[in-house]
Chain A
Amino acid sequence: MSTAELVNHRPGRKLALSAVAIVASVVVFLVPFAFIVLTAVKDRQQSALLDFSWPHQFRFVQNFIEVVEARDYMLVIAFINSTILTVASVTGMVVLAAMAGFVLQRRKSRWNPFINFLVLAGLIIPPAVVPTIWVLQQFGLFRTMPGLILIEIAYGLSFCILLFRAFVSTIPRELDEAAIIDGAGPLRLFFGVIFPLLRSVVVTVVVVQSVAVFNDFVNPLYFLPGDKNATVQLTLYNFSSQYSTQYNLLFMNILLITIPPLIMFLFFNRQIVAGMTSGAVKG
């Protein structure tokens, strides 16, 4: 039972409302996804009609193989690139942001307002693209995977620090004190005592940021151009111009890159919701 249930309390109306909601959700939200799936299994001629119809023949396997093999297995390379990018940058974000968030919450100093300001600035300010490329070039990191990984970390840190800082405040300080009395140094205290306690928020951060990095289109476009380096979002883009008439393959590609987020959603729905609504209640 929840609050707003009192907004409608007549059973007949409730059923009618449910029916309307379900029909509307099918039309508005499910039809586009059904369209993706149907078009992905059509043959080339039928998919070019762009209509919402049952496929004359199911070419799931053929289309799948064609998409994977296209342009020298570009999609496979892209999936490998995206996996490296996602795993490396999310790992970096989690470790660095947990350390920073921990100290930021525990240590009260006159620098804290300034640090908090920087964290919020990272959420609000749009990154300056060309100057970032310029900086990356100075280090020889432009057009390299490590460069893009560092960029994703830099842009994702703010959000992660906010989550970690909020969560650390729920861990009692007595725990730190006990560890310190037992002779733990700063590193031991953090990695041995605190970090294991952060597990639930780590899962949240990992899930939310993995989806964000995996779906990122803009940063790879700017900082890692070139077909060899393509991430999955960019293959979609290349495919859409190459296959401007091969809609079945384009939609098969869309279908394939939708699967990883779908798996995340099925298994970690709760953590995603927790991460994305943090801050909603407290403001």
Chain B
Amino acid sequence: MIPVTTIGGYLGAGKTTLINHLLRHPDGQKLAILVNEFGALSIDEDLIEAQDDDLISIAGGCICCSFGDNLVGALMDLMQRQPRPDHIVIEASGVAIPGAIAASLSLIQGLKPNGVVVLADSETVRDLSNDTYLGDTILRQLKDADLVIATKTDLVAESWSHDLGNWLATVSPRAALVHAIQGRVSSDIILGPRSPGMHPEQNRHSDSLFKSKVFPISRPLDLKALVTGLISPELGITRAKGFVLTPTGETVLVQVIGRRAETSTSPNRSQHAVVCIGPAHTINTQELDRLFNSV
């Protein structure tokens, strides 16, 4: 299954900057980026290896395709490509409802939704949410988000950012919040961490704004209690992924995106661990330790 991350948010919220940052830090993954139209997404020129009408080839095996008004068709084409991408990122149009895009992923076999990330311009998003034409669209976008990235944090006062955070918590009840400057968000935050233990380099984030921690698991855990804990805002994580041993001796794959968790059965494994990621200033590793020790 190829994971698909949907990135939404209105024009100017910073989607292009974020995608360029992702393409610079793909962490060894072959990303396929789907955009509405090429011209609107100005990929940094030094990243482009080749370009034709439908496709931009990017250093490191990543590609960028435009889908116009036919996202599902473009995704079907992508599934036919060799080699298959490791991860697909959809850049939704500024007025698209990203939840609807995420829903359409279930139409195609072999794709797995990997979260809706909505960007919000810290300066303008609250005004936009009151705009006659756009207000309800902006609020629907935020409501669908698993992860809200408040961008351009450097352009607003700390108190403004704080108020914005409180407001976003009410309009994006399901989302974890990350503040970002110039698109500098760890790839792991957008794409999700890879399974712990397989990629020792995973703790190397593109900068010190984000932190991840691996929690090895050596005994059966109460899955429900663990998941309830991981999605609580107090722990300050944005994503988590890992394999958990349950009291019945089964291995379960756990994935957390924002305030939402998914569990699925997995082939049994000898080693179990969960990796948690979050902004360095919100992730509460002490509480996380306590959670993993207590459930």
Partners in one complex: no
A positions within 8 Å CB-CB of B: none
